[in-house]
Structure 1
Amino acid sequence: MTPSLHELSALSAVATHRSFRRAASALNISPSSLSHAVANLERQLGIRIFNRTTRSVSLTEAGAAFLRRVEPALAVIAEAVETVNQFRDTPAGLLRLNGSEGAFERALPLILSFMARYPDMRVDMVSEGRMIDIVAEGFDAGLRLAEAVPQEMVSVPVGEAEEFAVVATPDYFAKHGKPKVPGDLFTHDCLRSRMASGGVSRWEFERKGEEFRLDPPGRLMMGSHGLTLRAARAGAGLAYVTYRAAAEDLKAKRLVRVLADWTPPFPGICLYYPRQKLPSAGLKAFIDHCRTAQRGRQKSKSA
């Protein structure tokens, strides 16, 4: 019996994502259906394709050899399907996006308006704090802050400029005074945040060409900017968070901002995708949608 295209696609997806759960999500099928397809393929071939443990999935030597032979054919079939998709009036299929949770929060209205415009498109948003190789992991594109986008990628702005803010409660400043320059932070209690990579976020400042990246002292270390902001509200010290995150507290005067002239705006969220790979019809439509929305924002600002 000849393996089906469904079974071969299942093999390729599990090998790419190294996870039955993530591969099933990418293919928009249930994990049990995917597992059944792979098991059926293994029975037909008479070999074990994957080594499975509770924590990992990896190709066996025989599985890797088989996949090397069938991958070129799968690529040709995928290209043929995509070529036909170009002739549709509207794109259809799955758009897989990887990004940080914050990036998706900012881009969600744009993604929802895209789906409303193209009802035959499905979007899989996979949130991860760490940076990954979107090509190797099988994603169409990524969403990150502009400064985090790899240089070899094409980048399309999809959001407004961002800025950081140093904030604390009025009571804290009444007791400890307000820092006038970044160097003053070394005499304050600073609330530190740990990045997804495990490293500690540095506080970055810039004014008139001067740039500083500081590791101010802090007795309290937290795993997210959200917790850092909550601790600041409780009067535990100064937080370094996005202005967007602190905006409501600043408006309600629960928090006060300092060093505003040292935290200028910087480019916000960008959509990025590989330069050397031809975008699918769905990704092309999403890129155009992002660019149209960005032009609309710029036009409304200049009006």
Structure 2
Amino acid sequence: MQRTDMGGLAMFIAVAEERSFTKAAARLGVSQSALSHSIRRLEQRLDLRLLTRTTRSVGLTEAGERLMETVAPAFEEIDAKIVSLTELRTRPAGTVRISTSEHAARTLLWPAVDIITREHPDVKVELNIQSGLTDIVAERYDAGVRLGERLDQDMVAVRIGPRLRMATVGSPTYFEQHGVPAAPADLTDHACINLRMAGGSIYQWEYEKDGRELKVKADGQLVLNDVDLILKAVLSGHGIAHLVEDRVAPLVEDGSLVRILEDWCDPFDGYYLYYPSRRQPSAAFSLLLGALRYRE
């Protein structure tokens, strides 16, 4: 294929991603007629139909899907390297988009973002809080945050926080009225406040002791998808909750909550920042990565 086809491929990628000639033309800064002509010329040269067009939408043929899978990653890598070259200057600049959980954003990301955005006015940071797993490549994030045990093998992973522990807690009033579970299995006889995950599933309470792992399917009147609400429910005596230790530690210390089953809550791998291994980090991203990197 001749080098002149590179422009046609770039236009094809834009149409495939936008699913619209109008939006793709606006994104590229060209006319719709020029865009249509370029796509037709590419299809003629390949002798393949790449797009299906209707009055309402644009879709990909099988050949278009295969071409998109082949060329889109290469163009993305070229774009990233060009961006990295243009950012070789004294002050880092640009936008860094990160998909993260609420807990990681609050405890690890925000302290670094707070400082960096104050010291570097040309750096913009977008934190998208999601409790489920996200395809950061498909969703065009620069990076994501996950627990170490959930990392994909084809990603660069940088540890950004310490090991974590869970804590099972309830209010003093609740335990006075209903007794204290002596083992995880006893939780089935208690009111437990469950966390609904982003994908729709309910988080199973995980325990480990002396190499023995248990998952408890807790039950109760309340299922919530917000940790702050779960804390309010626990403090009000509605039942028992299983949350990250640092969220409840101050409340345990002042006596508002009572911690149980602590010997069943072993530490586990904490948070990692991950990003595609083929992506060339921008100066702004490298700055944030350096600030987040965990140092024991």
Q: Which residue of 1 aligns with 2:272?
A: 270
TM-score (norm 1): 0.74
Q: Which residue of 1 aligns with 2:256?
A: 254
Contact 2:234 2:241 in 1 (8 A): yes
SS of the residue aligned with 2:193? strand
Q: Which residue of 2 aligns with 1:42?
A: 32
Q: In 1, Cα distance between the equivalents of 2:197 and 2:227?
A: 9
Aligned pairs for 1:137-286 (under 5 A) are: 137-286=139-288
Structure 2, unaligned runs of 5 or more? 1-6, 40-50
Q: Using a 3 Å threshold, how does the CA distance of structure 1 residues 253 and 34 change in structure 2: closer, same or farther?
A: farther
Q: In 1, Cα distance between the equivalents of 2:115 and 2:129?
A: 19
What do residues 109-142 of structure 1 show as CA deviations (whole Å, max 9, x unaligned)?
Answer: 1122233343332212222222121112211111
Aligned pairs for 1:81-92 (under 5 A) are: 81-85=83-87, 87-92=88-93
Q: In 2, Cα distance between the equivalents of 1:161 and 1:141?
A: 20
Contact 1:103 1:145 in 2 (8 A): no
Match of 1:112 among 111, 114, 118: 114
Structure 1, unaligned runs of 5 or more? 21-32, 299-303
SS of the residue aligned with 2:82? helix
Structure 1 residue 14 displacement after superposition: 8.5
Q: Using a 3 Å threshold, how does the CA distance of structure 1 residues 210 and 75 change in structure 2: closer, same or farther?
A: closer
Q: Which residue of 2 aligns with 1:27?
A: none
Aligned pairs for 1:14-25 (under 5 A) are: 16=17
Structure 1 residue 242 displacement after superposition: 1.5
Q: In 2, Cα distance between the equivalents of 1:254 and 1:94?
A: 42
RMSD of the alignment, in Å?
3.7
Q: Which residue of 2 aligns with 1:103?
A: 104
Paired-residue identity, %: 32
Letter in 2 for 1:42: Q
Q: Which residue of 2 aligns with 1:26?
A: none
What do residues 89-119 of structure 1 show as CA deviations (whole Å, max 9, x unaligned)?
Answer: 3432221211122221121011222333433
How many residues were matched structurally? 271
Contact 1:189 1:236 in 2 (8 A): yes
Contact 2:25 2:31 in 1 (8 A): no
